[in-house]
């Protein structure tokens, strides 16, 4: 990394760390599912939460692709956009919990409003994801991007770990009243604001002259066709879809260990054990980034696939605090691979000059599976029981990992026909 890359990496990582603390307080894989469950929600609603958390931002990404040519130079606008979307939506959820949680008769309305506010938040954020990703990717060279992404992913995971511990402490100190969740959301709003302030100190990026002209819809479709014309990229998408089919079980880990079959752990214990998810994620993020910079990011993808298999197997067959902690450790490594290795794989498989179109296409291909599979897994868990439903998700995870091992090459070793 050169001096400017190191400065931007440090400042961006601090911003992600502060944001991560806020996310940890209201984590969509632990806090939010437990909140929905305590308000009387079922497995389908828990699946909806996971679908929104993982794929909701994908639905509206084509809008961002059409509105923005690139992310470089758009930093200030994107920060203001976050202030007008994320902060009000998060505050609204806190207010909903405060007013609707105390009375059981209003729990159904509270759940509906929480899901509506959360849906609106992630859909609005989706618009800005393509230019935001393009802005951050442009801050680093190919040879240093793995470390840059790994660094801020690690800080984010550490922040989420701290937030999870604080959330558990607040829940433990203030009792089991549902209205206490409101404090977590209000605190998260303040931290998100501080994080955006840190992001404002990162470079705006250098606009690319070749991206000055706004592409027409016909141009964008041509870029889509160009991307899909690359055999290695298509093979990568197949493997990614298979892994996503298995990852639908992730949203039910907390609920499983909260149930008698999983050991009957309390919500405070599960929230606290969430640190075992994010601390390994932090360590693995930078490690996978270094590996990716040196030898390509395919290795990190394979490591993440194996970790996902282990996490699902433990969640299906294990019970108690130790099993929960081990499950979260492996899932943390899988999350690190998703953020660092898969993200860089998408950047590096782009065969043309419109990176935003390539990023959007990748997410569009994945979005139907990311949205539907957690809800389908919720139905499977309800029908077959949590251990069996979660355990069945091992099969596509194994198939996806094997496919990526034998059918996908590292893009740096592929000669493109432009």
Q: What is the pLDDT along the chain (418 residues), one digit of tens a residue?
A: 788 889 999 999 999 999 999 988 887 767 787 788 888 887 778 777 777 776 677 778 878 777 777 777 889 999 999 999 999 999 998 888 888 877 777 788 888 898 889 888 988 998 898 889 889 888 888 788 888 888 888 898 888 888 878 887 776 666 556 767 888 899 999 999 999 999 999 998 777 665 556 667 787 788 889 999 899 999 999 999 999 889 888 878 888 898 888 888 887 788 778 778 878 888 898 889 889 888 888 999 999 999 999 999 999 999 999 999 999 999 999 999 988 898 889 988 888 877 878 888 888 888 788 777 777 887 888 788 888 889 899 999 999 999 999 999 988 766 555 4
Contacts of 262 (CB under 8 A, 6+ apart): 256, 315, 318, 319, 320, 323, 324, 386
Give the pLDDT of residue 329: 94
Burial class (CB in 10 A: 0-12, 13-18, 19+), 245: buried
- The string over 385-404, giving b where at least 16 C-beta atoms fall within 10 Å of a residue's C-beta and e elsewhere, is ebbebbbbbbebbbbbbebb
- Give the pLDDT confidence score for residue 202 in this predicted structure: 94
C-alpha gyration radius of the chain: 20
Would you put residue 410 in left (φ > 0), alpha (ψ -120 to 50) or beta?
beta
Sign of CA dihedral 137, 281, 32, 255: positive
Q: Can you tell me whether residue 181 is helix, strand or coil?
A: helix
Give tens-digit pLDDT for 277-294.
878 888 898 889 889 888
Task: Give the pLDDT score at 418.
Answer: 46
Instruction: Determine the Cα–Cα distance for residues 311 and 327; give it in Å rounded to an integer.
Output: 4
Contact 118, 164 (CB under 8 A): no
**Interval 200-235: pLDDT, tens:** 999 987 776 655 566 677 877 888 899 998 999 999
Are the CB atoms for 135 and 149 separated by under 8 Å? no
Distances (CA, A) of 311 to 24, 228, 323, 347: 20, 32, 9, 27
Report d(CA 107, CA 105) in Å as an integer. Answer: 6
Domains of the chain: 3-205+214-413 (1.20.1250.20)
Select from 307, 310, 309, 315 the least CA-distant residue to 390.
315
CA dihedral 283, 291, 129, 243 (to 10 degrees): -90
Cβ neighbors of 21 (< 8 A, separation 6 or more) are 159, 160, 162, 163, 166, 191
CB 29 within 8 A of CB 315: no
Q: What is the value of pTM for the model shown?
A: 0.73
Q: What is the DSSP letter of 108?
A: H
Q: Which residues of 48-62 are buried (b: 16+ CB within 10 A; e: fewer)?
A: bbbbbbbbbbbbbbb
Q: Which class for 363: exposed (0-12), middle (13-18), buried (19 or more C-beta within 10 A)?
A: buried
* Helix, strand, or coil (residue 140): coil
Phi-psi region of 266 (alpha: psi -120 to 50; beta: other; left: phi over 0): beta
pLDDT for the residue 208: 66
Segment 20-51, tens digit of pLDDT? 999 888 877 677 877 888 888 877 787 777 77
């Amino acid at each position: 990394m050169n001096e400017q890359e190191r400065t931007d990496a440090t400042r961006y990582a601090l911003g992600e760390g502060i944001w991560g603390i806020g996310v940890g307080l209201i984590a969509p894989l632990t806090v939010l599912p437990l909140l929905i469950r305590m308000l009387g929600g079922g497995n389908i609603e828990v699946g909806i939460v996971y679908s929104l958390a993982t794929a909701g931002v994908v639905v509206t990404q084509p809008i961002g692709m059409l509105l923005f040519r690139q992310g470089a130079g758009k930093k200030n606008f994107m920060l203001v956009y976050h202030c007008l979307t994320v902060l009000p939506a998060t505050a609204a959820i806190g207010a909903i919990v405060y007013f609707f949680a105390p009375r059981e008769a209003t729990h159904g309305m509270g759940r509906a409003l929480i899901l509506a506010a959360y849906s609106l938040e992630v859909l609005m954020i989706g618009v800005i994801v393509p230019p935001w990703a393009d802005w951050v990717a442009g801050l680093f060279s190919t040879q240093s991007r793995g470390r840059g992404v790994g660094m801020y992913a690690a800080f984010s995971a550490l922040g989420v770990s701290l937030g999870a511990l604080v959330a558990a402490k607040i829940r433990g100190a203030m009792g089991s009243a549902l209205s206490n969740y409101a404090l977590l959301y209000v605190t998260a709003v303040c931290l998100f604001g501080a994080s955006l302030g840190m992001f404002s100190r990162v470079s705006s990026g250098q606009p690319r002259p070749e991206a000055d002209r706004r592409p027409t819809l016909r141009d964008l479709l041509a870029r889509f066709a160009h991307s899909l014309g690359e055999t290695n990229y298509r093979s990568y998408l197949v493997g990614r879809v298979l892994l996503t089919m298995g990852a639908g079980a992730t949203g039910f880990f907390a609920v499983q260990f909260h149930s008698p079959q999983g050991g009957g752990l309390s919500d405070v214990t599960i929230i606290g054990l969430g640190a075992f998810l994010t601390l390994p994620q932090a360590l693995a993020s930078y490690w996978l980034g270094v590996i990716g910079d040196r030898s390509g990011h395919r290795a990190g993808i394979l490591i993440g696939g194996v970790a996902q298999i282990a996490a699902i197997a433990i969640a299906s067959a294990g019970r108690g605090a130790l099993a929960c902690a081990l499950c979260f450790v492996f899932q943390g490594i899988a999350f690190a691979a998703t953020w660092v290795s898969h993200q860089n794989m998408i950047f590096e498989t782009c065969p043309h000059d419109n990176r935003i179109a390539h990023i959007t296409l990748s997410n569009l291909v994945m979005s139907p599976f990311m949205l539907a599979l957690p809800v389908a897994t919720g139905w499977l868990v309800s029908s077959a029981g949590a251990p069996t439903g979660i355990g069945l998700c091992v099969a596509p995870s194994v198939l996806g990992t094997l496919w990526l091992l034998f059918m996908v090459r590292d893009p740096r070793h592929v000669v493109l026909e432009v």
